[in-house]
Amino acid sequence: MAARLIDGKAIAASVRAEVREKAAELAARTGVRPGLTVVLVGDDPASRVYVRNKGKAADEAGFVSRQIDLPADTKEPELLEVVARLNADPSVHGILVQLPLPKHIDAKKVIEAIDPRKDVDGLHPVNAGLLFTGGAGFIPCTPYGILRMLDHEKVELKGKHAVVVGRSNLVGKPAAMLLLSRHATVTICHSRTEDLPSVVRTGDVVVAAVGRGGMIRGSWIKPGAVVIDVGMNRDAAGKLCGDVAFEEARQTAGAITPVPGGVGPMTIAMLLQNTCEAALRALS
Ligand code: NDP
């Protein structure tokens, strides 16, 4: 039997409706609307689309949404100055510097310059540390969205084996920490993992965050497993595809996220959720 499809679009829509309601309540009570500022350096076409979508979503949620466009040759100190200005602006509750940054700018330094209380991307070391130690920081939007989807689908994590393929600070590592916090037994795989197919085959839950179209084959999936595909790749025909060979994997998996329409929409929804939370915290 083919796997159940996990509809990220629908789950994201419900999160966004919830956030919109919370933001309206906050505005009615305090006169303050959550403020999100997205900084875009350069004109990478993919980044431009992401930033536009984030701005649109923030508008729809009733936020004050701003975008700062800087030229590709912006010097690092100039960008740091922009971040410092946003840190000091009480109407800005969330700051997002769109990655990747041009090579001459040290992204780590820029992320570390963001006030952790406004780091709605959850990438500042303080927030990463809070996730590691079980504190209430901001969780990176994509892994946070994954957890939300699993919760929505009532996937039992306690005692289950979760296999995360990919160990980036953006997705793999925080996803693993979140699954661990829910008492899953977690294995993190990466490019040096030996016999990856055998490891993936032991996963009751598989999170694929690799960036290689269709790399995870259907024969690697344990029957009934829940498969979360984070990958956003282009196939030979230029079509968007995930890291999992979807048509194969859906024959074996119990549930699976499609690409597009799976994890992608959740990322934006959780950005709104984090920004609304940042505004609430700033006012309490
Ligand atoms: P990174 O490139 O930062 O990390 C990729 C990870 O995959 C690394 O840990 C790397 O291992 C591992 N890897 C690479 N090749 C292999 C291999 N052959 N076998 C096993 N592991 C391998 O990517 P991100 O984490 O930022 O993103 C992953 C994917 O998710 C991309 O397709 C990206 O576009 C997508 N994405 C989607 C989002 C969404 O909203 N849907 C948001 C963010 C990302 P090593 O560390 O050893 O190099």
The pLDDT, as a whole number, for residue 1 is: 76
The pLDDT, as a whole number, for residue 265 is: 96
Protein residue whose Cα sits closest to atom 8 of ligand 1: 166
Domain map (residue ranges) of the chain: 31-116, 141-264
Q: How far is the CA of 209 from the centre of ligand 1 (A)?
A: 4
| Main-chain phi, psi angles of 11, to 5 degrees | -65, -40
Residue 204 has pLDDT above 90, yes or no: yes
Mutate to test the pocket of ligand 1, among 146, 148, 229, 232 (most ligand atoms within 8 A of CB): 232
Q: How does pLDDT run across 215-247, given as a tens digit for each residue?
A: 999 999 999 999 999 999 999 999 999 999 999
- Whether 121 is catalytic is yes
So what's the architecture of 31-116 in CATH?
3-Layer(aba) Sandwich (3.40)
Q: What is the mean pLDDT of residues 159-169?
A: 98
Q: How far is CA 193 from CA 189, 199, 214, 243, 270, in A?
A: 6, 9, 18, 16, 30
Residue 112 has pLDDT above 90, yes or no: yes
Q: How far is CA 72 from CA 39, 79, 129, 171, 252, in A?
A: 12, 11, 31, 26, 46
Atom of ligand 1 nearest to the CA of 190: 21
Q: How does pLDDT run across 21-72, given as a tens digit for each residue?
A: 999 999 999 999 999 999 999 999 999 999 999 999 999 999 999 999 999 9
Catalytic residue among 118, 119, 121, 173: 121
- Asked if domains 31-116 and 141-264 share a fold, the reply is yes
For 89-106, letters b (16+ CB in 10 Å) and e give: eeebbbbbbbeebbeebe
Confidence bin at 149 (pLDDT 50/70/90):
very high
So what's the architecture of 141-264 in CATH?
3-Layer(aba) Sandwich (3.40)
